[in-house]
Amino acid sequence: MPADGKICTFDCVYCECGLNADFRPKTRRPTREEVATTLEQRLISMRDVDGCLPDVLTFAGNGEPTIHPDFSAIIDDTIRLRDIYCPQAKVSVLSNATRAHVPEIKAALMRVDNNILKLDTVDAEYINMVDQPVGVYNVNQVVEAMCQYEGKCIVQTMFMKGECEGKSVDNTGDRYIGPWLEALKKISPQQVMIYTIDRETPLSSLCKATPDELDAIAKRVEALGLKVSVSY
């Protein structure tokens, strides 16, 4: 993604990078070649100058990584460089899953170690209010796409409280948890990541879910036989 802005298929009201309209990039995306060259230079520097190598190479941050036109090839380059310089490291991708159904994207995500896909809820009204998809988004189709990974995915879910335009964004209650758990049963991911707000958000009316609430949700996930991690 461009270093000076954000390009994303979601416009989440809780995004630490801010809202899309406020951070439109002035520079272009780096090319596949630029990504590979910069990564290799950095890995060499870490090895020869810093004396340490990364545990994980993560695609995340200021936008949706899978919308890069050369995403699949970039993943291939990254795996190749990882195998040369730091074979012990994992390759992770944090995606909002809006392109999880695209065959080329799916194939690329199946090649990484940690394929982390967002699913904040399965309630369409909530998603439109909080995640604010850019373009067409059907949560049922997204869940079905996740099922096609046959367990080789990690589901990441943001839980929070507060308000957006006078409406509650509290998704910690059973209205949202029950259907979400049913979706997890279908997806059967290798892991579920539960987290809450950790940094400043575009809306000051949002607030963290409590540790007790997150732990209670985690126990319900564990009861499905799924591995779960919680970040407070």
- Could you list the residue range(s) of the whole structural domain that residue 207 is in? 20-231
In contact, 8 and 20? CB cutoff 8 Å:
yes
Kindly state whether residue 77 falls inside one of the protein's structural domains: yes
Residue 9 included in any domain? no
User: Does residue 11 lie within any of the structural domains?
Assistant: no
CATH code of residue 80: 3.20.20.70
Q: Is residue 53 a part of any domain in this protein?
A: yes
For residue 7, is it within any domain?
no
Helix (H, G, I), strand (E, B) or coil at 92: strand
pLDDT in tens, 133-189: 998 999 999 999 999 999 999 999 999 999 999 999 999 999 999 999 999 999 999
C-alpha–C-alpha distance, residues 162 and 209, integer Å: 9
pLDDT in tens, 187-209: 999 999 999 999 999 999 999 99
Of 113, 11, 9, 1, nearest in space to 60 by CA: 1
1: in domain: no
Q: What is the pLDDT of residues 78-95, one digit of tens each?
A: 999 999 999 999 999 999
Check residue 171 and give its pLDDT: 98
Convert the pLDDT of each residue in 19-59 to its tens digit. 999 989 999 999 999 999 999 999 999 999 999 999 999 99
Domain-embedded: residue 109: yes
The answer as to whether 14 is a domain residue is no
For residue 3, pLDDT beyond 90: no
What's the total number of domains in the chain? 1
Assign residue 71 a region (left: φ > 0; alpha: ψ between -120 and 50; beta: otherwise): alpha
